Structure 1
Amino acid sequence: MDVQTKFDTYIGSDGVALDARDVALLQAIDSNGSLNAAADDLGRSYGHSQRRIVELEEAFGSLVERQRGGTNGGGSTLTETAEKLLAQFERAQTGFKGVAEITENVLTGTITERDGELATVETTAGLLRALIPQDSDGEVELMLRADAVTVNDPADVPLPENTSARNRFNGTIVDIEDGERIHRIAVDINADDPLAVIITEDSREKLGLAEGSEVVVSFKATAIRGIPV
């Protein structure tokens, strides 16, 4: 099993996940005043949108209050539960983006080989491949975002020919910084500093991650920005 740290925000309940697409539907209902108009506005099927609202309500409770006919022609409004759910989603999304943007790994190394912009760099963790401007030579600093790293169970690592992640390192989790749904783990790969990786709570549970867990981390050459020292 492998876990990509790039993921979409969602809120789960009873096996149902409310994601950005569902949020767009609820927001469209709120702004258009009806499910039918919301579906038209989003270019979606009314029947499918209605079924999705039913699924969400079975998991989260009443989300849309429907009014029939009358002098005002009826319509739909969001319930207090829906408003709270939208606010919770926004907080979760903002929290992830904030963590992802400020969490960047810095590795140092020396270019040993080059094929155009694709360079092989020797680091304390081992050789890795990175895209580095052709006018750069010698020592370089490599920047790698924590949300661009994939975490694998050592017993279930994809074969090299089945993945585009050219850089792969064995490591040990040395620290876990817990959040509500997003965790930042530090993986010792024998670099100068532990590698920071962002994972979701679901991913942590699926892989059974804890301090001391052995993992394999991998990332694409295109995920690294290299600059000369």
Structure 2
Amino acid sequence: MVDDWFEAYLDADGVSFDDDDAALLRAVSETGSVSAAASSLERSRPRCLSRLQELEDALGSLVERRRGGSDSGGSELTPAGRDVLARFDRLHAALSGTAGVPETMAPGTVTGVEGELCDVETEAGRVRAIGDEAVREPGRPVQVSVRADAVTLHAPDDAPAPGATSARNRLDGAVEAVERGDAVVRVAVDVGFSDPLWALVTADSADRLGLAPGAGVVASWKATATRATAVETVTERDGEGA
């Protein structure tokens, strides 16, 4: 299944550069100051400065603050800042040109509930997902779904330890197929579901990981990026007609 919605991001040292960050750099470039950029985006200046610091810790200097007091001297993008923004725009354009973002679906049974989160036992193992209110009950048959752009792939030797990141879903697998575009690569991974788990990665990441059919990988994704929805059972259908 594919969907026309997608989320583009660049990743560096565990920090993701996304649409909001691109909007911030673009606003700094257009307005000539962080304060004006924050105002145009209806964000607080401290929040913008804090985010810029996080990005620069991972990506290097992105914004040059010129002298003249507290931002009164103005700001402009550094060459690195312009390069990051251009790379993001190219990735965004490449994603826009794809036929859609694949979505993996797999059947399972709810085994535990914690607030809106459900533990679901699938043919590949346990998956944690946000559950519709109707399925938040142990024993309920469900269908779990996750979008390809929410899945991160790791080399087995470099994968974070379980629980070391916010991605609570983690499955070992082997690459089934690699569909390369100019900047974006679709990867089908056999993790034990009836259908492959799809992941969307950049061409650079695919090359770095050596992704090819048969290669071992660890796939991880957040519970908040996973949905558990109700499925109609034969018993329920028969009951409706009784």
TM-score relative to the length of structure 1: 0.65
Q: Distance in 1 between matches of 2:174 and 2:190?
A: 5
Q: Distance in 1 between matches of 2:222 and 2:77?
A: 39
Q: 1:215 to 1:50 in 2, by over 3 A?
A: same
Residue 52 of structure 1 corresponds to which residue in structure 2?
A: 78
3-state SS of paired residue (2:181): coil
Residue 32 of structure 2 corresponds to which residue in structure 1?
A: 38
Q: 1:105 to 1:190 in 2, by over 3 A?
A: same
Counterpart of 2:107, as a letter, is T
User: Does 2:227 correspond to 1:228?
Assistant: no
TM-score relative to the length of structure 2: 0.62
Q: 1:185 to 1:142 in 2, by over 3 A?
A: same
> 1:180-199 to 2 correspondence within 5 Å?
180-199=182-201
Counterpart of 1:143, as a letter, is S
Q: 1:227 to 1:177 in 2, by over 3 A?
A: same
3-state SS of paired residue (1:94): helix
3-state SS of paired residue (2:32): helix
Q: Distance in 2 between matches of 1:174 and 1:183?
A: 13
CA deviations over 1:157-182 (Å, ceiling 9, x no partner):
21223122221111000101101111
Higher RCO, Cα 8 Å, sep 6+: 1
User: Does 2:185 correspond to 1:176?
Assistant: no
CA deviations over 1:134-163 (Å, ceiling 9, x no partner):
421521111211111111111122122312
The runs of 5 or more residues in structure 1 that have no matched partner are 11-18, 29-36, 60-84
Residue 45 of structure 2 corresponds to which residue in structure 1?
A: none
Q: Distance in 2 between matches of 1:121 and 1:110?
A: 5
Counterpart of 1:228, as a letter, is A
Counterpart of 2:208, as a letter, is K
Q: Distance in 2 between matches of 1:177 and 1:135?
A: 37
Q: How many residues align?
A: 180
Larger Rg: 1
Residue 117 of structure 1 corresponds to which residue in structure 2?
A: 116
3-state SS of paired residue (1:191): coil
3-state SS of paired residue (1:147): helix
Q: Distance in 1 between matches of 2:192 and 2:33?
A: 52
Q: Distance in 2 between matches of 1:116 and 1:22?
A: 37
2:118 touches 2:228 (CA, 8 Å); kept in 1? no
1:94 shift after superposition: 3.1
Residue 105 of structure 1 corresponds to which residue in structure 2?
A: 104
Query: What percentage of aligned pairs have identical amino acids?
Result: 37
Q: Distance in 2 between matches of 1:195 and 1:56?
A: 34
1:100 touches 1:198 (CA, 8 Å); kept in 2? no
